[in-house]
Amino acid sequence: MIRSLERAIGNEAVLWRPEQLLAFEYDGTIERAQPQAVVFPTSAEQVAEVVRIALDAGLPVVPRGAGTGLSGGAVAALGGVVVALTRMKRILEVDTENRLAVVEPGVVNLELSKAVEPLGLYYAPDPSSQRACTLGGNVAENAGGPHCLAYGVTTNHILGLEVVTPEGEIVWLGGRTRETPGYDLRGVFVGSEGTLGIATKIVVRLLRLPEATRTLLAIFDEVDQASAAVSSIIGRGIVPSALEMMDREIIRAVEPALHVGYPMDAGAVLLIEVDGLREAVVEQAEAVRDVCLREGAREVREESEAAERERLWAGRKGSISALGRLAPNYYVLDGVVPRTKLPAVLRQVYALGERYGFPIANVFHAGDGNLHPNVLFDERRPGERARVLEIGAEIMRLCVDAGGSITGEHGVGYEKRSFMEWIFSEADMAAMAKVKAAFGSNDLYNPCKVFPTGKGCGEVSQAQIERVMAQAGPDAYV
Partner 1 sequence: MSSSAPVRTDLEAALRELLGDGLTGGDAAFAVDGMLPEFVATPASVDELASVLAAAGDHGAAVVPWGGGRHMGLGNAPARYDVALRTGKLDRVIEHEPADLTITVEAGTTMGALQELLREHGQFLPIDAPTDATVGGVLASGVSGPSRHAYGLPRDWLLGCRVAQAGGVMVHGGGRVVKNVAGYDLPKLFVGSLGTLGVIVEATFKVSPLPPAQETLVVHAASVEAAASLVFAADERSLSLRAAALRAQGADMQAVFWLAGPPSAVDRTSRELHELATGAVERLEGRASEPWWSSLVDVPTSGLELRASLPPSAVAGFIAGWEGEVVAYPTTGLVLVRLEATATEELAGQVARARALAEASGGTLVVASAPAELKKRLDVWGESEGLPLMRRLKQQFDSNNTLNPGRFVGGL
Of residues 347 through 366, those in contact with partner 1 by CB under 8 A are 365
- Positions in 273-302 near partner 1 (CB under 8 A): 276-277, 279-280, 282-284
- In the set 23, 183, 455, 473, which binds partner 1 (CB under 8 A)? 183
Which is nearer to partner 1, 17 or 178 (by Cβ)?
178
Q: How far is residue 465's CA from residue 384's CA, in Å, rounded to a whole number?
A: 14
Nearer to partner 1, 128 or 329 (CB): 128
Of the listed pieces 36-44, 171-179, 218-226, 257-265, which binds partner 1 according to CB under 8 A?
171-179
Candidates 19, 380, 382, 425; binder of partner 1 (CB under 8 A) is 425
In angstroms, what is the minimal distance from the CB of 86 to partner 1? Answer: 23
Sites for partner 1 among residues 58-97 (CB under 8 A): 95, 97
Contact at 8 Å (CB) between 176 and 94?
no
Window contacting partner 1 (CB under 8 A); options: 105-113, 176-184, 263-271, 353-361: 176-184
Instruction: Work out whether 239 is an interface residue with partner 1 (CB under 8 A).
Output: yes
Q: Please answer whether residues 312 and 304 qualify as being in contact, where contact means their C-beta atoms are separated by less than 8 angstroms.
A: no
437 binds partner 1 (CB under 8 A): yes
Q: How many residues bind partner 1 (CB under 8 A)?
A: 86
Closest to partner 1 by CB, 250 vs 337, is: 337
Q: Residues 203-239, buried b or exposed e (16+ Cβ, 10 A)?
A: bbbbeeebeebbbbbbbbbebbbbbbbbbbbbeeebe
Residue 363, sorted as left (phi over 0), alpha (psi -120 to 50) or beta, turns out to be: beta
- Residues 200-229 close enough to bind partner 1 by CB under 8 A: 208, 210-211
Among positions 2-61, residues that touch partner 1 (CB under 8 A) are none
Q: Shortest distance, CB of residue 277 to partner 1, whole angstroms?
A: 5
Cβ proximity to partner 1, 179 vs 459, nearer residue: 179
Residue nearer to partner 1 on the CB measure, 173 or 395: 173
| Residue closest to 216 by CA, chosen among 312, 316, 302 | 302
**86-94, 123-131, 164-172, 314-322 -> range binding partner 1 (CB under 8 A):** 164-172
Parallel, antiparallel or unpaired: strands 61-64 and 81-84: parallel
The contacts of residue 214 (CB under 8 Å, 6+ apart) are: 273, 274, 275, 281, 282, 284, 285, 302, 303, 304, 309
The SS3 call for residue 135 is helix
Minimum distance between the CB of residue 441 and partner 1, rounded to whole angstroms?
Answer: 11
Largest alpha-carbon pair distance within the chain? 68
Q: How far is the CB of 321 from partner 1 (least distance, A)?
A: 24
Taking the complex as a whole, the smallest distance from the CB of residue 440 to partner 1 amounts, in Å, to 8
Nearer to partner 1, 356 or 424 (CB): 424
CB 329 to partner 1: min, Å? 25
Q: Minimum distance between the CB of residue 310 and partner 1, rounded to whole angstroms?
A: 22
DSSP SS3 for 434: helix
List, in sequence order, every beta strand (DSSP E) within 372-466: 373-377
* 178 near partner 1, rule: CB under 8 A: yes
Nearer of residues 27 and 368 to partner 1, judged by Cβ: 368
412 DSSP assignment: -
CB closer to partner 1, 206 vs 219? 206
Amino acid identity, position 265: D
116-145 residues near partner 1, rule: CB under 8 A: 141-142, 144
**Nearest residue (CB) to partner 1, 120 versus 473:** 120
CA distances from 133 to 85, 105, 376, 474 (A): 11, 10, 25, 14
Contact pick of 201, 248, 410, 467 for partner 1 (by CB under 8 A): 410
- Contacting partner 1 (CB under 8 A), which of 370, 374, 418, 464? 370
CA separation for the pair 270, 216 (Å, rounded): 8
Contact of 27 with 67, CB cutoff 8 Å: yes
> Nearest to residue 68, comparing CAs of 105, 34, 26, 33?
26
CA distance 211 to 234: 22
Q: Which stretch binds partner 1 (CB under 8 A): 3-11, 102-110, 271-279, 387-395?
A: 271-279
Between CA 18 and CA 38 the distance in angstroms is 11
Among positions 11, 20, 98, 462, the unique one binding partner 1 when judged by CB under 8 A: 98
